[in-house]
Amino acid sequence: MPTYRAPVKDMLYVLNDILHIEKYSKLPTFEDATPDLIAAILKEGAKLCEEVIQPLNQIGDKEGCTRHDDGSVTTPAGFKEAYKLFTEGGWQGLNHTPDYGGQGLPYFMGVAMEEMLVSANLAFAMYPGLTSGTIAILTMQGSDEEKAKWLPNLISGKWAGTMNLTEPHCGTDLGMLRTKAVPQDDGSYKITGTKIFISSGEHDLTENIIHFVLARTPDAPAGTKGISLFIVPKVLVNDDGSLGTRNTVSCGSLEEKMGIHGNATAVLNYEDATGYLFGEEHKGLRGMFVMMNAARLGVAVQGLAISEVATQNAADYARERLQGRSISGVKEADKPADPIIVHPDVRRMLMDARAFNQGARAFALWVGLMVDISRKSPDEDARKHADNLLNLLTPVLKGYLTDGGYRHATAAQQVFGGAGYIVETGMEQFVRDARICQIYEGTNGIQALDLVGRKLPMEGGLPIRTYLELMEHFFSENADEPYAEFIDPLKTAVGDLQKAVLWFAQNGPANPDNAGAGSVAFLYLLGTVALGHMWAKMAITSSKLLDAGAEDKDFHQNKLITARYFIHRNLPDTAMYLRKIEAGAEDVMALDAGAF
Amino acid sequence: MPTYRAPVKDMLYVLNDILHIEKYSKLPTFEDATPDLIAAILKEGAKLCEEVIQPLNQIGDKEGCTRHDDGSVTTPAGFKEAYKLFTEGGWQGLNHTPDYGGQGLPYFMGVAMEEMLVSANLAFAMYPGLTSGTIAILTMQGSDEEKAKWLPNLISGKWAGTMNLTEPHCGTDLGMLRTKAVPQDDGSYKITGTKIFISSGEHDLTENIIHFVLARTPDAPAGTKGISLFIVPKVLVNDDGSLGTRNTVSCGSLEEKMGIHGNATAVLNYEDATGYLFGEEHKGLRGMFVMMNAARLGVAVQGLAISEVATQNAADYARERLQGRSISGVKEADKPADPIIVHPDVRRMLMDARAFNQGARAFALWVGLMVDISRKSPDEDARKHADNLLNLLTPVLKGYLTDGGYRHATAAQQVFGGAGYIVETGMEQFVRDARICQIYEGTNGIQALDLVGRKLPMEGGLPIRTYLELMEHFFSENADEPYAEFIDPLKTAVGDLQKAVLWFAQNGPANPDNAGAGSVAFLYLLGTVALGHMWAKMAITSSKLLDAGAEDKDFHQNKLITARYFIHRNLPDTAMYLRKIEAGAEDVMALDAGAF
């Protein structure tokens, strides 16, 4: 059975030594977030994840969710009790507004907690994760009345939330959706239609579920410009806040899926269900995008989280499993064989994953900090700067971290050999669960298209220019000779990035397929640079801390070892991605569609 | 529900136009294998796979195998009937010796049939696949008496066979195995021990199962030099060939696995079971290696096969699914959206897979032909030449084709978006099934270590020199200017291969970990060159056929398109693999084992 040890120490290193969050203490929500408090909260969260939520992960996979004849859904054994502890601890409101009962901590704390929750149990984490999405949209776009009505019970976790976008004939292309919303005399709407793939769509964890639903009003324009957003509670809420009658939205069935069996993926049937317009009519997508951007960051962290826990278990196994002898000579002569961690290829898989996990964690927490700055900084330039980076990096984070999550979960399973293919060890569940992260919240192909098709040309290239300037700044800040071993390879990689941007600028306008054909390669190129940036930052920081006589020598030495591994073995892959981009669209588009 | 169309046309192109099998008509078993007969047989086999065996694939996954209290095992609904048709058609004996009832066709015909069987249903294909392994070892190493006793019923498919290697504490490291074999007065042995992960270990398809079991005789030397091979039938066989009493080998349990649910992966308990020594005492591994080499080629083809069927279904879906509009302008204005095959990134995934599938098919059939030459050619030089290539390429084929199988099955699932994650579409089953191919018959890490640690240094580098000479020969044969677009990039790639070989020669002896750390990168480098070789061969051949006015213009034009895709986008990856090899072992080995 898999185990999990939350990497709180590594998180604190990133927050304190790399991001220096103490520098932001004047930002709203940061005032009270002292290093000590942050450490205490993360340790408490770690305990909950390790001891309560992680032990339910395999049970949840095996048991799955059960839909009963009346449309009600039961979550796996133990989920309800764990959710109760989760809400009682105030975790649902961790980084949400204290005006409606949240803890009011910075957004990046939510990123850290999301990692631990998902490492422990993705299917479970998705319930509060979806609720957080609805809290985000209400907080940012809701009226005072809407906030007062919905936020307190969502933030406390008493109620849960969902996002309803997909219909059978439309996933990515929301312009085609058909669900109807007919206005009523009392200002409400009657919602009718079928939504599919609704994560956490129906369950027994909360007394109510607040669905955010995309639908069309009568005579709405065709396409995405005719989509409005509605709040449709599972149970109607009386004016005094008490629960009223059951709304006419019901779970028609649960999907049988490859993984995340502990989360109920529902088909929801709306039959004249009462809903309330949220935001302006026909501008529903704008609201949904707020939720989706937050969700993309969350899903990115899910990829990292599964890679982390899978790697931990693979490393434990590699230290224990005795099989064969080291090719450089017997290492443990008193044992019948050496542990397989002596084999270079086993180490290669573990080092690849380690370099990814720690680099991705720094990347995700940094982007999390950007969300805080973007939302809360009193300085308009700082907000704009953070927005530029967020625009550029959100699709990169989602695509790169979730592809990595699947790849490293697969490698961790491989370390187990035949045992990894057996359900009992839990390693194959990591692979099946990690797989969804590459698909939902926009497939990774869509992320890449968003990156190359929308984010690169945005505001005359402002997002990418902001990032490249940041790199130049980083290089000039760290021009000292001892750091050249970390900076020079990153300069080469950034050079590849610049060439790719130039290539798109020169070849995209004449033939947009050139952008599409190189989009995923570009996402990987930028993701690799971003991790290289983080590793250079960590290597230089740890070097300085070692020079200054830091206490935990081993920790920082290991950072240097892992930084060198990434910089020597993985960072130069940017050359290959550039080459694939420059290969262009011609070969990709040449075959007749019928010939495939 | 997935569908399957066997790529018989592509197989015939490889056999006739690329490998020119008619040139080998003087080899034993090739005399009757005229192009017409081969085409007829493959079409017949395709029909069986498409119409009988493929429709059972999802049922088998869902139902799985059932072990009953008495230790008997029932296969999924329909398997027994399909197996009956399979054996009645003589397919089990397709490429096995006519002396004992086989069809006596060339080995490569078995490769082609294995691809179709596995595309249709991997879990089903494993039953006859394991039997073929036991037929191979008996044919090559059995005495006349042993052949007469066991082969007829194995070749007819009346009986099945298995390989019993793994024990709970030893998978890769067979030297540690503990199963005991105690000699009896009548010349037989009593076998006692537990074997795990035994594919097709117990089932209801045949009246008897012939287990090949590795065990130790009393006082056998420790390690691999004390291992002997035994034949242990499930039901004892009387001297007159009739079935006798049930032997004391029983199925203790079936494993719950990630995939291949339709195949019974058994724990087999031997309790003083009657067995017969096969080959010399203490030289059991030699026999088992014969079986394993054949099995590795078979598993390689499994990777290709799943990639092929998954890609077919992804291409069908991409042509049908309407979602979004082409970034280069609306393509099908009369429809609510364009089919997703207009999107460059969807095509990239399909083209990657197509280039892999067709290249891997040519590679596998070519290696299959080498098996024929190695076993049957009257010319010793030709046999030795084929052996050299087989030694080098078997681990490459196994590792490269099965990693590709998983990668492209995953990409095919991705084309389906959210629907790919749902069990009903069958796409996620391809991923789960493909995953085992990277693990069994020696993990792909073990294949890479075998390649770099054993095959490269073998006979002073004879295998790799043989391959490099073959490349030089190919270059000089095709030095005409029009073919430079295919030959020059391959020359560059072969240059990377030569540099890698040189690097290992210079850096491996002083530190063997340098070989281990670059082993998988080398396997990929050589696999990429091998596919590049096949694509250059196919491109030049199709060019010539087009020049000569070949009838099927589209087929050959599409070969050229796909060749250019592979050569422009994937072949240059050899530079990255070389770079990873040259990065050496230092960074891989630096971290203390306890620090992972």
| Nearest neighbour of A596 by CB, restricted to B350, B418, B436 | B350
Determine the Cα–Cα distance for residues A540 and A534; give it in Å rounded to an integer. Answer: 10
| Nearest neighbour of A516 by CB, restricted to B196, B327, B515 | B327
B526: amino acid identity, one letter: L
Reported as a pLDDT band with limits 50, 70 and 90, residue A183 is very high
Domain segments of chain A as ranges: 287-451, 458-591
Give pLDDT, residue B454.
95
Give pLDDT, residue B293.
83
Give pLDDT, residue B518.
98
Give pLDDT, residue B123.
98
Q: Residue range B432-454: average pLDDT?
A: 97
Percent of chain A with pLDDT over 70: 100
Reported as a pLDDT band with limits 50, 70 and 90, residue A287 is confident
Q: Which of B587, B589, B592 to mutate to test the interface with A (most CBs of A within 10 A)?
A: B587
Residue-wise pLDDT tens digits, A201-215: 999 999 999 999 999
Residues 6+ apart with CB under 8 A from B581: B500, B503, B504, B518, B521, B522, B525
Kind of pairing between the strands at A208-216 and A159-164:
parallel
Q: Residue range B289-300: average pLDDT?
A: 88
**Would you call B256 and A171 a contact, using CB atoms and an 8 Å cutoff?**
no
**pLDDT value at B286 more than 90:** no
Give pLDDT, residue B289.
82
Residue-wise pLDDT tens digits, A213-222: 999 999 999 9
The whole-angstrom distance between B317's CA and the closest CA on chain A is 11
For A498, A500, A579, the CA distances from A518, given in Å and listed in that order, are 14, 9, 9
The whole-angstrom distance between B505's CA and the closest CA on chain A is 16
Determine the Cα–Cα distance for residues B81 and B95; give it in Å rounded to an integer. Answer: 23
Reported as a pLDDT band with limits 50, 70 and 90, residue A382 is very high
Contacts of B351 in chain A (CB under 8 A): 587-588, 591
Contacts of B324 in chain A (CB under 8 A): 172-173
Token pair in block for residue A165: 């976008």
| Nearest neighbour of A445 by CB, restricted to B345, B592, B596 | B345
Give pLDDT, residue A29.
87
Residue-wise pLDDT tens digits, A335-365: 999 999 999 999 999 999 999 999 999 999 9
Percent of chain A with pLDDT over 90: 96
- The residues with which B209 forms a beta bridge, in sequence order, are B160
Contacts of A428 in chain B (CB under 8 A): 257-258, 432, 435
Options A114, A115, A441, A472, the catalytic residue: A441
Angle between helix A122-141 and helix A107-120 axes, rounded to 10 deg:
160
**Would you call B587 and A564 a contact, using CB atoms and an 8 Å cutoff?**
yes
Q: What is the pTM of this model?
A: 0.98
The whole-angstrom distance between A67's CA and the closest CA on chain B is 17
**Would you call A417 and B171 a contact, using CB atoms and an 8 Å cutoff?**
yes
Give pLDDT, residue B580.
98
**pLDDT value at A260 more than 90:** yes
Give pLDDT, residue B12.
98
The whole-angstrom distance between B517's CA and the closest CA on chain A is 5
**Would you call A423 and B573 a contact, using CB atoms and an 8 Å cutoff?**
no
Residue-wise pLDDT tens digits, A418-468: 999 999 999 999 999 999 999 999 999 999 999 999 999 999 999 999 999
Reported as a pLDDT band with limits 50, 70 and 90, residue A292 is confident
What residue of A is the nearest CA neighbor of B339? A593
Reported as a pLDDT band with limits 50, 70 and 90, residue A32 is confident
Contacts of A197 in chain B (CB under 8 A): 418
Contacts of B414 in chain A (CB under 8 A): 438-439, 443-445
> A–B: how many Cβ contacts below 8 A?
262
Contacts of B516 in chain A (CB under 8 A): 327, 343-345
Reported as a pLDDT band with limits 50, 70 and 90, residue A286 is confident
Residues 6+ apart with CB under 8 A from B200: B126, B127, B130, B131, B160, B162, B209, B263, B264
Contacts of B577 in chain A (CB under 8 A): none
Name which CATH class applies to A287-451.
Answer: mainly alpha
**pLDDT value at A48 more than 80:** yes
**pLDDT value at A526 more than 80:** yes
Contacts of A347 in chain B (CB under 8 A): 517, 588-589, 591
**Would you call A255 and B414 a contact, using CB atoms and an 8 Å cutoff?**
no
**Would you call B587 and A593 a contact, using CB atoms and an 8 Å cutoff?**
no
Reported as a pLDDT band with limits 50, 70 and 90, residue B29 is confident
Token pair in block for residue B280: 């010399």
Decide: B192 and B204 in contact? Cβ < 8 Å. Answer: no
ipTM over 0.90: yes
**Would you call A595 and B347 a contact, using CB atoms and an 8 Å cutoff?**
no
Token pair in block for residue B496: 């990377």
**Would you call A169 and B568 a contact, using CB atoms and an 8 Å cutoff?**
no
Give pLDDT, residue B287.
80
Q: Residue range B19-31: average pLDDT?
A: 92
Reported as a pLDDT band with limits 50, 70 and 90, residue A294 is confident
- The residues with which B254 forms a beta bridge, in sequence order, are B266
What residue of B is the nearest CA neighbor of A223? B336
The whole-angstrom distance between B59's CA and the closest CA on chain A is 15
**Would you call B591 and A315 a contact, using CB atoms and an 8 Å cutoff?**
no
**Within a 10 A sphere around the Cβ of A150, how many other Cβ atoms?**
24
Residue found by looking up tokens 């004391």 in the block: B248
What residue of A is the nearest CA neighbor of B315? A596
Give pLDDT, residue A325.
93
The whole-angstrom distance between B195's CA and the closest CA on chain A is 13
Give exposure, A451-482, as e/b (b: 16+ Cβ within 10 Å).
Answer: bbbebbbeeeebbbebbbeebeebbeebeeee
What residue of A is the nearest CA neighbor of B426? A258
Token pair in block for residue B260: 């291949």
| Nearest neighbour of B443 by CB, restricted to A257, A414, A591 | A414
Q: Which of B332, B347, B440 to mutate to test the interface with A (most CBs of A within 10 A)?
A: B347
The whole-angstrom distance between A322's CA and the closest CA on chain B is 8
Residue-wise pLDDT tens digits, B494-542: 999 999 999 999 999 999 999 999 999 999 999 999 999 999 999 999 9
Q: Is the dihedral of CA B365, B370, B375, B379 positive or negative?
A: positive
**Would you call A596 and B315 a contact, using CB atoms and an 8 Å cutoff?**
yes
**Would you call B572 and A589 a contact, using CB atoms and an 8 Å cutoff?**
no
Told to judge if A441 belongs to the known catalytic residues of this protein, a careful annotator would answer yes
The whole-angstrom distance between A308's CA and the closest CA on chain B is 11
Give pLDDT, residue B171.
84
Give pLDDT, residue A172.
84
Contacts of B354 in chain A (CB under 8 A): 591, 596
The whole-angstrom distance between A166's CA and the closest CA on chain B is 9
Q: Where in the sequence numbering do the catalytic residues of B fall?
A: 441
| Nearest neighbour of A323 by CB, restricted to B172, B328, B449 | B172
**Would you call A351 and B172 a contact, using CB atoms and an 8 Å cutoff?**
no
Residue-wise pLDDT tens digits, B457-480: 999 999 999 999 999 999 999 999
Contacts of B445 in chain A (CB under 8 A): 343, 345-346, 349, 414
**pLDDT value at B437 more than 80:** yes
Decide: A136 and A186 in contact? Cβ < 8 Å. Answer: no
Half-sphere exposure of A242 (CA within 13 A, CB side): 3
**pLDDT value at B290 more than 80:** no
| Nearest neighbour of A588 by CB, restricted to B176, B351, B515 | B351
Q: Which of B61, B255, B596 to mutate to test the interface with A (most CBs of A within 10 A)?
A: B596
**pLDDT value at A290 more than 80:** no
**pLDDT value at B172 more than 90:** no
Element housing A181 (H / E)? strand A180-183
**Would you call B420 and A436 a contact, using CB atoms and an 8 Å cutoff?**
no
**Would you call B515 and A327 a contact, using CB atoms and an 8 Å cutoff?**
yes
Residue-wise pLDDT tens digits, A559-570: 999 999 999 999
Q: Residue range A142-169: average pLDDT?
A: 97
Q: What is the dihedral of CA A335, A341, A342, A344, to 10 degrees?
A: 160
**Would you call A573 and B568 a contact, using CB atoms and an 8 Å cutoff?**
no
| Nearest neighbour of B439 by CB, restricted to A414, A565, A575 | A414
Half-sphere exposure of B20 (CA within 13 A, CB side): 4
Q: Is B70 exposed, middle or buried (0-12, 13-18, 19+ CB in 10 A)?
A: exposed
The whole-angstrom distance between B125's CA and the closest CA on chain A is 19
Q: Which of B163, B174, B348 to mutate to test the interface with A (most CBs of A within 10 A)?
A: B348
